[in-house]
Amino acid sequence: MAFLSTKPYKGTRDFYPSDMRIRNWMFQKLRETIQSFGYQEYDGPMLESFDLYAAKTGEEIVEQQLYWFLDKANRKMAIRPEMTPTLARMVSGKIHETPQPIRWYSVPNLWRYERPQRGRLREHWQLNVDVLGGDPLMADAEVLMVALEIMNSFGGQDKAVIRINHRKLVDFFFSEHLKLNSEISLRVTKLIDAKNKVSEEVFQKSLAELGLDQDKVNKLDQFFNASFEQIQKDFDCPGARELAELLDYLKQSGAEKQVVFDSSILRGLDYYTGTVFEVYDCSPENNRAMFGGGRYDNLVGLFGKNKLSGVGFGMGDVTLRNFLETHQLMPSEEPSVDVFVSLPHLDLREKAENLAKSLRSKSFKVMTPLEVGGFKNQLKLANKHGVRFVVLFGEDELKKGQLLVKELQTGNQEAVNEDQLVDYVTKKIRGV
Amino acid sequence: MAFLSTKPYKGTRDFYPSDMRIRNWMFQKLRETIQSFGYQEYDGPMLESFDLYAAKTGEEIVEQQLYWFLDKANRKMAIRPEMTPTLARMVSGKIHETPQPIRWYSVPNLWRYERPQRGRLREHWQLNVDVLGGDPLMADAEVLMVALEIMNSFGGQDKAVIRINHRKLVDFFFSEHLKLNSEISLRVTKLIDAKNKVSEEVFQKSLAELGLDQDKVNKLDQFFNASFEQIQKDFDCPGARELAELLDYLKQSGAEKQVVFDSSILRGLDYYTGTVFEVYDCSPENNRAMFGGGRYDNLVGLFGKNKLSGVGFGMGDVTLRNFLETHQLMPSEEPSVDVFVSLPHLDLREKAENLAKSLRSKSFKVMTPLEVGGFKNQLKLANKHGVRFVVLFGEDELKKGQLLVKELQTGNQEAVNEDQLVDYVTKKIRGV
């Protein structure tokens, strides 16, 4: 018989305990920050109707990257490639019972059929944060603050900046200054989004092919290199005014230094309708966009006649972990078990179990061996499992109602009265 | 245009925040208990190779209930219907680097194409707890203790019992007393497992069809109604002796009263090889098996020549929630937000943001409105969102550097100095 492979499916990961600990640590920190802003968690099923994505999700994803199949009743089902359609469906389903502004987050696993590469896998987890309703600019400011505070909570204060732009400003520039129609605007946008993938020569040639003369190319160059002061002077329009107000809000929230204007942030203009932003790793060695988001209109339009505008972002676990590793912001490896209560012979099993139980009742992580063994054997077991303290039953100590407690890292060993064990461990581990 | 449905896929659930809070609460409590025994969490991808299930998973699941499809490279992939095959694959992949006994747990979502009914859905979450290696009976005892402690942690001390049996005892009875071959034994087992689905007449007729005469039927009846004392007297065999030792261990661990022998616990004998058990809701109004598990041999045999025996159980979130609701063990609904910092006019935004920030830095959940509004409007907003305290800016108080803090549940309202707000809230909410 041929043996089965032990490898996970291409583009996916197994989370062994050492990786699971990091995933849980990251998600726990994310949750704490987001909850501190009063956001509530939601989740939906892994499978959704294909139609949910066919309508709004980008063409590339639906045609090339979606996992879909027919179920036994011939329903065309898809594995979720993004969370926003599920959010839209759920919000629409209870739109009249849900108080606005709606502040929701989720940390779903998402699937895309991708060629696996750095930062892009077939299965990844993605934090989704959204605000629906409320004053648009105040909501934008809050969501930007949440994104910043998340980075800061990991110690990334001076390592990440948010670059922001506004869809209405770019629209204004394309239609009023370059006099381009919306189709050409979209194609120019896509060229600019992909600019660093082609040579300057190819880029210029493509612009010319779209009908942009040298004057327009110069204007394009000026626009995409302008400071916000320059923009305000040259492009007085609703988008620029909203951006100015948003920047003012962010200043009031104390985030002035971590948010910068960048007219080249575009994020596929066919989806967003207002503020757009990207969070950048600003270290020289890893300077790149990590995640982003923006404001969208009419999230719930597919489900009925209600209208609701929102702002949100998605942040992938792979990208976040890369950032934390690059900047050495990962948690230190700590023993995963607090106490190992040894078992030298079966007669002591009841005593060992009682000791373990009393420690567990104080929320310590306590392991007992699943075999009988002497000092040496038990210490070896405890060492293998990454334990902090070992409780040993010494012959002499037992007669006096005592135990030996050994700290593996330091090698320190002390005799402790049986009825003092919980207090002793509490003091050592929690300092009280 | 026809609008899309807002309903989730048949047999699946949307977790709106109120349900998500309960799911998170349940899983958090599960994790705390399991970690207190030194278990570590793992996870694998949602999709696995179809072959992983074809080999070991029960026929009914693979042929009728598995979600599977071909990916773009024509790989036959399945959505995981159970976690054990993934566990086996992962353990096999690192069998030489992983210290034994391996104590792992996971809380995956699983998919089966089922006709939705009470307690059975197409997508559900299932806690999986397993121990691989170690002395088998000590490991069995520990896993049973973990299952019990989980029930107890929810307040189910007097509401749940574990019924245990042993595969080798049942085998011994079938082969040595009834003189049945393994094929007939299996078919008799299945009849007994499904006994309460058919009439006594049909049951007896089916037994006769399998060749069991009246003498054997009487023996069957005696066996499945015997006390453990009777079993020890009449069926002296390794299975009965192991059970006696296991019951002794459980007594030492203080679980004597919550574990009972029940020879009718069978759990599909083609999979388990030693101890088998089921956790029962023992209240008269809901008397039924909630979840179970047992010992299996050679978990990793599909992946290579290594051998490893284990014991484990799986516990579904739907069943657990039913149990908690039946016994009124659900958490009380608490305000999801600690403090609402109001915003009467834009000039106060910076001050409001700073107050919110200082509260968030102490891990309070703080909401700020995304619109400007007077007292009445802001109180209405805070009420809608389920907030505990509201910070209001009163004209008179502002002049004195004070704020008004109102507790919504009691209606109490106090003037608090601005620089005392964090201390005030801390004392009110955390009592220190």
What is the pLDDT, as a whole number, of residue A64? Answer: 86
Q: Dump pLDDT digits (tens) for A260-283.
A: 999 999 887 567 999 999 999 988
Quick check: is A266 in a domain?
no
Residue B345 sits in the same domain as residue B243: no
DSSP code, position B110: E
| A117 lies in the same domain as A70 | yes
Residue B196 token pair = 């309460």
pLDDT at A256: 87
Same domain (yes/no): B303, B251 = yes
Q: What is the C-alpha to C-alpha distance for residues B65 and B112, in angstroms, rounded to an integer?
A: 5
- Rounded to two decimals, the ipTM of the complex is 0.94
pLDDT digits (tens, 9 = 90+) for B52-88: 998 776 777 888 899 999 999 999 999 999 999 999 9
Structure tokens given for A322:
């890369």
Tell me what pLDDT residue A1 has: 59
- How many C-beta atoms lie closer than 10 Å to residue B246's C-beta? 23
Does the pLDDT of residue B334 top 80, yes or no? yes
pLDDT mean over A352-367: 96
Q: What is the mean pLDDT of residues B346-368?
A: 96
B208 and B286 fall within a common domain = yes
The pTM (predicted TM-score) of the whole model is: 0.94
Helices B317-326, B17-35: crossing angle, 10 deg rounding:
100
Core vs surface per residue A28-52: b (16+ CB within 10 A) or e: eebbebbbbbbbbbbbbbbbbbbeb
**B125 inside 8 A of chain A by CB:** no
Question: CA B432, CA B422: separation in Å to the nearest integer?
Answer: 11
- Is residue A142 within 8 A of residue A219, CB to CB? The reply is no
Q: Which residues of B touch A51 (CB under 8 A)?
A: 4
Q: Considering only CB atoms, which chain A residues are within 8 Å of B103?
A: 367
Residue of A34, A33, A32, A68 lying closest to A48 (CA atoms): A68
**Would you call A249 and B16 a contact, using CB atoms and an 8 Å cutoff?**
no
Q: Is residue B322's pLDDT more than 70?
A: yes
- Please judge whether A367 and B17 are an interchain contact, meaning their C-beta atoms are less than 8 angstroms apart: no
DSSP letter string, A151-217? HHHTT-TTTEEEEEEEHHHHHHIIIIIS---HHHHHHHHHHHHTGGGS-HHHHHHHHHHTT--HHHH
Question: Are residue B305 and residue B344 in the same domain, yes or no?
Answer: no
pLDDT value of position A246:
97
Q: Are B343 and B319 in a shared domain?
A: no
Q: Rounded to an integer, what distance in angstroms lies between the CA atom of residue B81 and that of residue B75?
A: 18
Q: Would you say residue B314 lies in a domain?
A: yes
Q: How far is A212 from chain B (nearest CA, A)?
A: 38
Together in a domain, A289 and A422: no
Nearest CA in chain B to A371: B135
Q: What is the pLDDT of residues A179-238, one digit of tens each?
A: 999 889 888 988 888 887 889 899 999 999 999 999 999 999 999 999 999 999 999 999
Q: Note whether A290 and A419 are same-domain residues.
A: no
pLDDT confidence bin for B155, thresholds 50/70/90: very high
Would you call B32 an interface residue with chain A, using a CB distance cutoff of 8 Å?
Answer: yes
Q: At CA A108, angle to CA A193 and CA B4, rounded to 5?
A: 80
Nearest by CB to residue B370, choosing from A43, A139, A149, is: A139
Query: Contact, A56 vs A119, CB < 8 A?
Result: no
Domain boundary among B303, B326, B349: B326
Residues in chain A closer than 8 A to B249 (CB atoms): 349
Instruction: Verify that B362 and B282 share a domain, yes or no.
Output: no
Considering A326, A350, A380, which residue would you say is the last residue of a domain?
A326
**Among A73-77, A266-270, B219-223, where is mean pLDDT lowest?**
A266-270
- Supply the pLDDT for residue B375: 87
Name the token pair of A297: 């209109």
| Cβ within 8 Å of B, A 7-26 | 7-9, 12-17, 20-21, 23-24
Out of A45, A101, A123, whose CB is closest to B123? A45
Give the minimum alpha-carbon distance from B291 to chain A in angstroms, rounded to a whole number. 23
Angle between helices B214-223 and B200-209 in degrees, nearest 10: 120
- For B212-244, the DSSP string reads --HHHHHHHHHHTT--HHHHHHH--SHHHHHHH
Last residue of a domain, one of B326, B346, B376: B326
d(CA A299, CA A55): 12
Tokens 């400007």 — which residue?
Answer: B372
Chain A residue closest in CA terms to B306: A3
Write down the pLDDT at residue B2. Answer: 82
Q: Residue B261 forms beta bridges with which residues?
A: B164
Domain count for chain B, please give it: 2
Domain that holds residue B408: 337-430
Return the residue of B nearest to A132 by Cα: B370
State whether the Cα torsion B369-B370-B376-B381 is positive or negative. negative
pLDDT band at residue B277 using 50, 70 and 90 as cut-offs: very high
* CATH number of the domain enclosing B412: 3.40.50.800
At A134-174, the pLDDT tens digits run 999 999 999 999 999 999 999 998 899 999 999 999 999 99
Inside any domain, residue B39: yes
- Contact indicator for B121, B12 with CB cutoff of 8 Å: yes
- Let me know if residue A342 belongs to a domain: yes
Least confident segment among A64-73, A118-127, B282-291: B282-291
